[in-house]
Chain A
């Protein structure tokens, strides 16, 4: 952590003191070249030749400076500044086109967002809160599957613990008698679902017609 703080502090110092940093780097590189030239001169070259040789040995000065800036972590900042500047100049150069592009993007993104929000609220979700019946119906048709857990079971549905409304409706749909209807009513009353209660009434009427014992 301490080294991280140190590095952050160094970066901040470099960003605030860019010109002095650049000057110092320049001085340091020149100093390096001078020292190298001194050595080369001592080995017998003329001052001029020594200076040239020192520069050649050093390599591409600007490339090394760039690498040094990279090491300092200030280059990313430079590039960001250059890019933002470029963008601003571009906008200033073509204000009308820029405005058109901005408006197009704004409207496009905005309308898409609004349409999605509305569709999401109205159409993409089951409306359990306001129209519970639609919810029940989905499960009911699923449960009429003859391979389902209640397939072929008559009368005993009520004994299945914690039978849920949609299970019971499914059973009722398959024209089961007695206990199933009771289960439907229990669940329907519990959930307060008018549709289920209505269904129950129909079941009860059918049972009365058949002369079987009406559910309690």
Chain B
């Protein structure tokens, strides 16, 4: 879900996805760099990401990932589910003997 979100903010190559995740999660999820790629490939094989080789801002060749329509839908679904989990957990953790 994090990867989908990172890619949804604009096409990214692998390293860019890492930086973007670090940036948007405020460093809460340090990823080991190599572990990103299996996840990216899995998303690509599921048709959630599309890839294209291009030139990066450093003037280097890089493979760019973009969100497909299916990927966008997955992102929205995932976000909805995540908010439901948070709402449920928050309510559950707030419960006191009096409120029952």
Residues of A within 8 A of B (CB): 3, 6-7, 10-11, 24-25, 27-29, 31-32, 34-36, 38, 57-61, 63-64, 67-68, 70-73
Contacts and interface: CB of A to CB of B under 8 A. Distances in A.
Contact of B37 (A7, A10, A34, A64): A64
Contacts of A31: 13-15, 56, 60-63
A6 B45 contact: yes
A154 B27 CA distance: 95
A59 B56 contact: no
A11 B46 CA distance: 10
A6 B14 contact: no
Contact of A10 (B16, B34, B44, B63): B44
Contacts of B37: 25, 28-29, 64, 67-68, 71
Contacts, number: 81
Given A3-B70, A35-B58, 16 more contacts: A3-B47, A7-B45, A7-B47, A11-B45, A28-B37, A31-B13, A31-B14, A31-B56, A32-B13, A38-B58, A57-B33, A58-B34, A67-B35, A67-B38, A71-B37, A71-B42
A35 B13 contact: yes
A70 B44 CA distance: 14
